[in-house]
Amino acid sequence: MGKTRSAPTLNDVAKAAGVSTATVSRCLNAPERVIEATRQRVMQAVESLGYTPNYAAQVMAARRSFTIGAIIPTMDNAIFARGLQEFQNQLRESGYTLLVSSSAYDPEMEREQIRTLVARGADGLLLIGHARNPEIYQYLERHQVPSMVAWSYDPTATRPSVGFSNTEAMGELAQKVISAGHRRIAMISGRTLGNDRAQSRVDGVRRAMGENGLDANALTLIETDYEIEKGAEAFEQLMTLTPRPTVVMCGNDVLAAGALREAGRLGINVPEQVSVTGFDDIELAEIVSPALTTVHVPHREMGRKAAIELMAMVEGSSEGRSVCIKTRLVNRCSLAGPPRQQLP
């Protein structure tokens, strides 16, 4: 009865339907290019044979996979979740699949993930932040894989990006802090090495201090990992300082949540005794108490725009334009003026 039983191929379907493989392929990928009668015959053959196209073969022949890769620094907290979710929604609407992996904030790991994703045929890549070994960009160019940077906007970068100016956004918040009367400013930042967003946020605070006649070098700065626990530790450390800072600006909401938790444990009232600020405005910011004064980042908008632009690049209809997203301050309760020098 013929060949050994095995997975049906395009060829089998073609034979069963009495057409060429080209026609079957067209039936599946561009049905409007095939006449009704033929299409029905083919579809029936597909059905009765239980045919499923071989993905690897498709990718190989078409030289595209309709897959987009994203490498984010962490999946542990919600920082990237919302934006990525929207990114994915947008992609799916256009028939793309998203593959996500996390680099744990490690450049070497990121490099490896990028290679894997490219090897797996990703049509385009979403990367977080600009800071990256140029060799990587060469590699991507070589493989003709367009990439888009998000969570950071830098018009001077050669790479397109969708994001916001971390420096300006944090600078604005710092301006507000200073205007409220704070002079002894401390900051808990994420690690700035290889993280341009963290670095820019620190720069933003320093710049605002400078612009207000304060000594930017007087900023007390602790760098640590973006974890609640670490935020708590750093805050505790800051509270031992004399004189004690009157405000602790945090590199993001997660760090701020840790600081707040520790303040509670230490019996330090926020914002009466010390103010705390965050960055990102993730869900957490509203849940903690006191609710965080922070910088709102329109994550969904960013995800959506990144997806649209990246798809355009993949499809060759754009060279890659950068787009700048507006952040805005959100005033909640964790920021007030500095405490009076002495209590009555």
Partner DNA sequence: TCTGCTTATGTAAGCGCTTGCATTTGCGAT
Partner DNA sequence: ATCGCAAATGCAAGCGCTTACATAAGCAGA
Q: Which residues bind DNA (CB under 7 A)?
A: 7, 9-11, 18-23, 25-26, 28-29, 33-35, 37-39, 51, 53-54, 57-58, 60-63
Our CB check for a copy of itself shows the closer of 55 and 272 to be 55
> Minimum distance from CB of 61 to a copy of itself (Å)?
9
Our CB check for a copy of itself shows the closer of 121 and 171 to be 121
Our CB check for DNA shows the closer of 58 and 116 to be 58
- CA-to-CA separations, 180 to 120, 252, 271, in angstroms, rounded: 52, 20, 12
d(CA 216, CA 205): 8
11 binds a copy of itself (CB under 8 A): no
Q: Which of 18, 47, 57, 241 binds a copy of itself (CB under 8 A)?
A: 57
29 binds, among DNA, a copy of itself, none (CB under 5 to 8 A by kind): DNA
Distance of CA 180 to the CA centre of its chain: 32
139 binds, among DNA, a copy of itself, none (CB under 5 to 8 A by kind): a copy of itself
The contacts of residue 255 (CB under 8 Å, 6+ apart) are 188, 190, 224, 226, 227, 228, 230, 231, 234, 278
Which residues within the stretch 227-286 sit at the binding site for a copy of itself (CB under 8 A)?
none
144 binds, among a copy of itself, DNA, none (CB under 5 to 8 A by kind): a copy of itself
53 binds a copy of itself (CB under 8 A): yes
d(CA 245, CA 297): 26
At 172, the amino acid letter reads: E
Our CB check for a copy of itself shows the closer of 121 and 258 to be 121
52 binds a copy of itself (CB under 8 A): yes
* Total H helices, total E strands in the chain: 13, 12
50 binds, among DNA, a copy of itself, none (CB under 5 to 8 A by kind): a copy of itself
339 binds, among DNA, a copy of itself, none (CB under 5 to 8 A by kind): none
92 binds a copy of itself (CB under 8 A): no
d(CA 102, CA 112): 11
87 and 98 in contact (C-beta within 8 Å)?
Answer: yes
121 binds a copy of itself (CB under 8 A): yes
Is cis: bond before 271, omega within 30 of 0? yes
5 binds, among DNA, a copy of itself, none (CB under 5 to 8 A by kind): a copy of itself
Our CB check for a copy of itself shows the closer of 144 and 242 to be 144
142 binds a copy of itself (CB under 8 A): yes
> Minimum distance from CB of 42 to a copy of itself (Å)?
18
The contacts of residue 250 (CB under 8 Å, 6+ apart) are 187, 188, 189, 231, 256, 259, 276, 277, 278, 279
Q: Which two tokens stand for residue 323?
A: 């787009």
- CA-to-CA separations, 50 to 44, 47, 53, 251, 269, in angstroms, rounded: 10, 5, 10, 54, 67
At 342, the amino acid letter reads: Q
Give me the helices (H) in the chain, please.
10-17, 21-29, 36-49, 55-62, 81-93, 107-119, 134-142, 166-179, 196-211, 228-239, 253-266, 284-287, 299-314
Our CB check for a copy of itself shows the closer of 44 and 269 to be 44
Q: In the complex, which residues of this chain contact a copy of itself (CB under 8 A)?
A: 5-8, 50, 52-57, 59-60, 65, 115, 118-121, 138-139, 142-144
